[in-house]
Amino acid sequence: MDKQTLQTARYPKIFSELATANYYLKAVSLAALGCAILSLLVVVALVNRRPVVLPLGAKAETLKETVLPSAEDQIEAAINRYLELRYKWEPATVKARLAEAKAFVVSKAGLPYELAVANVIRFATEKNVSQRVYPDKIAINLEKGIVVISGDRVTEIQGLKAAGNLRLELGFTNGPRTKENPWGVYVTREKEEL
């Protein structure tokens, strides 16, 4: 008896191995595509999330979130500071106070302001005059850029005190914030009603 060995066909085996390798390539490609889509979704979710901000003070204490003050509040604070510098003085401090108040005057009105306060400084030092104002009502009109102030004024001339009404109309505009004027509110005109 002769022994015969059977040989399997080579091509079906090659195609079979190729089909198996193709299956693994498809599975790996789908897994890589799934990982790419998942990582893209994670990146989109992280980008759209608000960042974590830890505000710390000078001594590493956590600062609390606050609401910005309204425009009227900032203008009122600036006008109160201007009134304190411009209308509250004594003979010894009148020159320094009026010079500080110039930080609240718009630059193009600087020369008229200096001319107006020069008479006040001369009168206050020669006649020993001091003045204080107490504003009762500060009405702010943002559209017109006007502040109307009403209150009381106490003037002391050589020891004699006189009280009177204060009615003042100030025009204002916004400008750069400085160390002297952190509100950035500048007086453009001043009209005092007697």
Q: Which CATH number fits domain 71-193: 1.20.1300.10, 3.10.450.230, 3.40.190.10, 3.40.140.10?
A: 3.10.450.230
The pLDDT of residue 2: 72
Kindly state the average pLDDT of the residues 148-162: 93
pLDDT of residue 37: 97
Q: Which pLDDT value is given to residue 8?
A: 65
Q: Which residue has the higher pLDDT, 193 or 148?
A: 148
Q: What are 120's two structure tokens? A: 């006040």
Q: What is the pLDDT of residues 156-182, one digit of tens each?
A: 998 899 999 999 999 999 999 999 999
Which pLDDT belongs to residue 11? 64
E strands, the chain, in order: 129-141, 146-157, 160-174, 185-193
Residue 3 pLDDT class (50, 70, 90 cuts): confident
Give CA 124 to chain center in angstroms. 39
Q: Give me the pLDDT at residue 25, please.
A: 84
Which residue did the predictor score with more confidence, 170 or 22?
Answer: 170
Give Cβ neighbours of residue 50 (< 8 Å, ≥ 6 apart).
Answer: none
Please report, rounded to a whole number, the percentage of residues in the chain having pLDDT higher than 90.
63
Mean pLDDT of the chain: 89
Give, in order, the Cα–Cα distances in Å from 34 to each of 29, 47, 159: 9, 20, 90
- pLDDT class for 21, splitting at 50, 70, 90? confident
User: Is pLDDT of 111 > 80?
Assistant: yes
